């Protein structure tokens, strides 16, 4: 049977990919991108899902750590790695300005909702501001990790989201660019799609929903 709900991530799905955006930011500030990756691995683990000994990212995503405090952590870690002083104030805003929107995926979500499919945004927030003007009319529900005190790939935030749109897990497709988040969704019964590019994701959704959403 065709699915009834579409849940999508923000960064890397409705925007350009994380590696592209972070690479552009690092180049703009003349920061060695390998130093940034090294800090992320220390905090997140090599597979972006393993708990590390010290993890301010998870605290930020759950809303337990304020943005200015996180920026000081990150700027300090980058300064230690590179020997180059990195300005903490406004660091996340400077990073996220390189996450350009992906109009093709945004249009697909709008077409899905216009076709009667329940839609939701499920995003781990780094305290960044989301483009509410672009989201107008796109989603039935918007779930931001820092606002609900939960984060992907924890099961509770997936349950929260599918309940918010009034569906069961097997009725929903979930699209994310981070494989650990997709695998966690599949374990709960959602149809997980690992987003790598628009044509592949769009063709999979056409099949799953038994209608043309790709164009």
pLDDT tens, the chain, 215 aa long: 789 999 999 999 999 999 999 999 999 999 999 999 999 888 876 554 444 455 899 999 999 999 999 999 999 999 999 999 999 999 999 999 999 999 999 999 999 999 999 999 999 999 877 888 888 889 999 999 999 999 999 999 999 999 999 999 999 999 999 999 999 999 999 999 999 999 999 999 999 999 999 99
**Other C-beta atoms within 10 Å of 203: how many?**
12
CA distance 106 to 138: 8
pTM (predicted TM-score)? 0.92
Tell me which fold the domain 5-16+100-209 belongs to: Rossmann fold (3.40.50)
Tokens of 65: 């750590």
Pairing status of strand 118-123 against strand 141-144: parallel
pLDDT for res 41: 86
| CA nearest neighbour of 21 among 99, 93, 78 | 99
**Residue 129 pLDDT:** 77
Closest CA relative to residue 127, chosen from 142, 146, 112, 110: 146
pLDDT for the residue 43: 86
Location of each CATH 3.40.50.1000 domain in the chain? 5-16+100-209
pLDDT of residue 132: 80
108 Cβ neighbours under 8 A, 6+ residues apart: 198, 202, 205, 213, 214
Closest by CA to 93, choosing from 130, 135, 61, 44, is: 130
């Amino acid at each position: 049977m065709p699915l009834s709900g579409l849940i999508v991530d923000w960064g890397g799905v409705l925007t350009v990919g994380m590696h592209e955006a972070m690479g552009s930011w690092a180049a703009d500030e003349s920061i060695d991108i390998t130093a940034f990756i090294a800090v992320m691995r220390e905090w997140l683990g090599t597979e972006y899902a393993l708990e590390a000994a010290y993890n301010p990212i998870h605290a930020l995503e759950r809303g337990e750590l304020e943005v200015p405090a996180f920026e000081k952590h990150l700027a300090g870690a980058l300064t230690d790695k590179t020997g180059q002083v990195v300005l903490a104030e406004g660091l996340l805003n400077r990073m996220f300005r390189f996450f350009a929107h992906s109009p093709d995926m945004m249009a697909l979500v709008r077409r899905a909702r216009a076709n009667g499919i329940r839609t939701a945004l499920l995003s781990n927030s780094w305290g960044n501001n989301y483009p509410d003007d672009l989201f107008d009319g796109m989603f039935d529900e918007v779930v931001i990790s820092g606002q609900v005190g939960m984060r992907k790939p924890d099961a509770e935030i997936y349950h929260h989201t599918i309940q918010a749109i009034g569906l069961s897990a097997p009725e929903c497709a979930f699209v994310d660019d981070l494989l650990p988040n997709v695998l966690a969704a599949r374990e709960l019964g959602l149809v997980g799609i690992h987003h790598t590019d628009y044509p592949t994701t769009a063709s999979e959704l056409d099949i799953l929903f038994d209608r043309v959403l790709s164009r």
